[in-house]
Amino acid sequence: MRTYDNPVIGGFHPDPSVCRVGEDYYLACSSFEYFPGVPLFRSRDLVHWRQIGNVLDRPSQLDLPDDTPASAGIYAPTLRHHDGRFYLITTDVRGKGTFLVTADRPEGPWSDPVLVDVPGIDPDLAWDEDGNCWCAVAGVTVSRIDPATGKVLEGPLPIWSGTGLQHPEAPHLYRVGDWWYLMIAEGGTAHGHSVSIARARSPRGPYEPAPANPILSARSTDLPIQSTGHADLVTAPDGTWWMVLLGTRPRGWFPGFHVLGRETFLTPVEWADGWPRVGPVEEQHQAPSTWHPFQLPPVRDDFDAPTLAFSWISPRSRPDDSWSLTRRPGWLTLDARFGPAFFGRRQQHLDCRAAVRIDPGSGRAGLSVRMDEAHHYDIEVAGGVVSVVLRIGPVRERIAERAVEPGPLTLAVDISTADGTRGPDTLTFSVEGPEGAVELAELDGRYLSTQVAGGFTGRVIGMYVTEGEAAFDWFDYQEALR
């Protein structure tokens, strides 16, 4: 029996939304304050996913101001395919509000935003048999809209807001047989998270709740996967049903610390007496009948390609004059003349190693493990000295230093759960020059966790420059097997 491991997309990939077109599945996630926004993935079996782009990849689609707080920005997209076209609807919570974009191909180009005047977040799209487009939002209300213009044609109509738990959100409407099903998340996105469902004969309602609500929750359990919720349903070509959802993997002493943010998990769904039935989300499940693994792109980036890989993200914006792949061919050059520059990728494994080859020149630059502006650990080089710097809330402290020779050197961080007894993990920073590798500092990982930093994101590991200019020959990220 073939099995798969959860999560199917590790690291900070929350609020998954999925659709199937033929034999291909497509999945989108929230991106919050990072640019480009809304990573988009393709799969043939719901288990093996390859990122094929970012939906919001230019400033005309996503222009986050410099004062956008961490964990603001883009919330909870819904991805759908209708009448030969892809639709994605989402909300910029501190900017333009709810909007949708469309594309003929999932790789893009995606259109500029069409604003949709509905109050709330977590918007959903569904079409009825007459071609009407319905948009549900957290709360929960539903409106009939014109997706070409964003105009609201009817509503918003209050429908079903769950079983009484806090924060009814993440609504998704599905037509299954003669019923319309409304699936929502409730209980908040922390330990009380859950999925509930109701059904009606029309999108307008009235809705009757499932007798076994919530149909999914890990609350008050000792399951290794917690906070399960914010789910979406999809059918496979063989008629089986599957659910993608977010969850967390807390570790360490009470209350448990999760550092990768909310990740994307997969679990099977069965139908009984007209309702979906979902078992606990486990670390291993029996795999779908269609098994289609593929070769993932390398996790080492030598910056030899003419464009950046899709996995690189930056807080809020990525000005053209802050980076270059051509100024020094085969290197990524970052420039701080117009402000600090950071290019990172999500930490996707509990145990991993990230390293970068850097030529700092006369700049101040390095490797950072980031939760937000107030919670990050850095190893940086400037003026012939390598330093390890921690930032925890209002505290910023340089805790280790070592003189180095001019020229390129390697900076690295090893993240291990082996010694995580009270905290979730340990981060060990080192520098490697002509004299070999030297360990500089070992730091407790709990201070780079959601439980300390707050917010909705997870760790992002990347290169940065805060003064002058620096060049990076390669960046290497590897899962560390224990």
Compute the distance between CA of residue 444 and CA of residue 400 in angstroms, rounded to an integer.
15
Query: Which listed residue (15, 232, 263, 301) is catalytic?
Result: 15
Catalytic residue, from 33, 92, 122, 169: name it: 169
Torsion angle of alpha carbons 128, 133, 139, 141, nearest 10°?
Answer: -80
Residue linked to tokens 């920073």: 429
Largest CA distance in the chain: 73
User: CA 401, CA 392: separation in Å to the nearest integer?
Assistant: 19
Active-site annotation holds for 5: no
Q: Is 432 a catalytic residue?
A: no
Residue 140, preceding peptide bond in cis (omega within 30° of 0): yes
For residue 293, give the nearest of 479, 7, 50 by alpha carbon: 50
Question: Are the C-beta atoms of residues 371 and 340 closer than 8 Å to each other?
Answer: no
* Closest of 219, 175, 178, 234 to residue 46, by C-alpha: 234
The beta strands (E) that lie in 129-193 are given as 133-137, 141-145, 152-158, 169-176, 179-186
DSSP 321: G
Contact 353, 478 (CB under 8 A): yes
Q: What is the DSSP letter of 291?
A: -
> Closest by alpha carbon to 305, among 320, 325, 281?
325
Query: What are the residue numbers of the active site?
Result: 15, 169
